[in-house]
Structure 1
Amino acid sequence: MTWLTKITPDLSSRSARAAFANAGELHRMLIGLASSQLGEETMPSPRRHAGLLFRVDEGHTGPALLVQSHERLDLTRVDGIGEAAERDLSPFLDGLEKGREVRYRLAAAPSKRLGKSEKNADRLGDRARPGVRAYTRPLYGEDAERWWLDRAESHGLESRQVLSTGLGPALDPGKSGRRGVRLQVTRFDGYAVITDPDAVRRAVVEGVGRGKSFGCGLLSLASAEW
């Protein structure tokens, strides 16, 4: 099954402000909400095991956190943070058909991998480091849109319209403040026609691109007539 949960934070709450401080804190909060699915044993990728993907959407009344998971989250842990609502996405995903037009939204960290060389290291303002095989350059504007259009096609969507919006960086300083994760995020909105329903379902369930632990990769679909 695939569940979608919407959490609307109460930003007057200290707990909510702490949870929404950065992408890393949100990730750690969501791992806690999925703890009943993960058990007590340590595993290499708890996010992937629980199917966790998330995105923060800004609305007229403030932010809303959208969370996707394989199982229902423990919403008793949201007390003191905000209000939550959930729905089962499985009927919608099962009903996707070839030729159907949908609206989509995706927040992603489009990038291009560069080979390890002094030239590329200098271009990125980064010194060549032992053990690093490649460097990654974030993409913006038209380059970011081309990145998404290529992936949309491979994920069973023929994009008919795309609007890209730079959202700035997703951050995770870590609990010690030394982790230093920083991903440049772009949101893609538009319309598309489904060309491969199975590929689309996989993209929704598994996510798109990198940075899935930091608020990237959640592909949201809705009927175009909504």
Structure 2
Amino acid sequence: MFLSRFRVNTARPGARRLLSSPQAMHAAVMSSFPHILPSDSPQPGAPRVLWRLDQRSRAEVLLYVVSPDRPDLTHLVEQAGWPAVADPDNPGWQTRPYAPLLDRLTAGDRWAFRLTANPVHTVRRKEGEPRKLTAHLTPVHQMGWLLDEERQRRLGFRICEKPADRRLLPEGTTHKGRPHPGDRYELVIRDTRSLAFDKSRGSDGRRDKPVTVVTVAFEGRLEVTDPAAMRQTLTQGIGRARAYGCGLLTLAPVTQPASPAP
């Protein structure tokens, strides 16, 4: 497994095209692997290609990729990077083996983390109708999706709680009579976006219905509870819309005071 980081040159037209379309970015990422065909999908439990965009400022956008093979991002440098300054020692992106981090995970470890996810649930609007997949739209419900105890158990971690002296009120702020998750847990939402885009035309020339994906960027601190499950989470991702830049969880030591992304 490998972890790669690529800084996007947001001033270039090619970069703006990729940033405006999760489908185009997905295609560009998958083109980095000569042995993986665009139609290939991993078997259940097998490592897969995950990617995520982190926008730290208007001009600083970073693309992270976790993959079973080492990527060749030359085409991304040419389209959306700085090809004039690339050289063999500095091709325009950084890649490092992921195994050292995966192998050192042990129960009880605490890490800072960053995750972009697509929190969804199923609802039935009328009696007798089939349940419909719907995005969580409020911060309380988006946090609640990640804080779900069964989900955290499957993923191999738990979100850390804040010490009592760091909470706003002794009993915490409340939402419908319960402690507000943003006051109780080491968890914040940095960004929420609704992405709407058209899928490519099929072989019959017809265009599918537009796709809408609500993405939520989480940051916080977690504790590893099941190292094997945590390794699977880091290599397979979390939740839905993984082809559209969701699901990639990254870790960093909690001693780092700034960004929790690696």
Q: 1:93 aligns with which of 98, 102, 123?
A: 102
Q: 1:57 aligns with which of 54, 58, 61?
A: 54
- Specify the alignment match of 1:15 in structure 2: 14
Aligned length: 210
Structure 2 Cα separation of the partners of residues 179 and 69 of structure 1: 30
Alignment pair present for 1:71 and 2:69: yes
Offset at residue 17 of structure 1 (A) = 2.0
**Pairwise CA RMSD:** 2.4
Question: SS state of the match for residue 136, structure 1?
Answer: strand
TM-score by structure 2 length? 0.73
Offset at residue 155 of structure 1 (A) = 1.1
Question: Percentage identity across aligned positions?
Answer: 24
The runs of 4+ residues in structure 1 deviating greater than 4 Å are 46-50, 176-179
Q: Which has the higher strand share?
A: 1
Output the amino acid matched with 1:17: R
Contact 1:170 1:182 (8 Å CA) reproduced: yes
Offset at residue 13 of structure 1 (A) = 2.2
Q: 1:195 aligns with which of 225, 228, 235?
A: 225
Q: Which has the higher helix share?
A: 1
After superposition, residues 47-196 of structure 1 pair within 5 angstroms as 51-60=48-57, 61-80=59-78, 81-82=80-81, 83-115=92-124, 118=126, 133-139=130-136, 140-150=138-148, 151-160=151-160, 161-176=186-201, 178-196=208-226
Structure 2 Cα separation of the partners of residues 192 and 218 of structure 1: 15
Offset at residue 76 of structure 1 (A) = 2.2
Change (3 A) 1:25 1:152: same
Contact 1:31 1:47 (8 Å CA) reproduced: no
Structure 2 Cα separation of the partners of residues 168 and 57 of structure 1: 12
Offset at residue 54 of structure 1 (A) = 1.1
- Specify the alignment match of 2:259 in structure 1: none
Structure 1 Cα separation of the partners of residues 215 and 224 of structure 2: 25
1:8-36 CA deviation, whole Å, 9 max, x = no partner?
112232222222222111011112112x1
- Give structure 2 stretches of 5+ with no counterpart: 82-91, 161-185, 202-206, 257-262
Offset at residue 146 of structure 1 (A) = 1.2
Offset at residue 96 of structure 1 (A) = 0.6
Larger Rg: 2
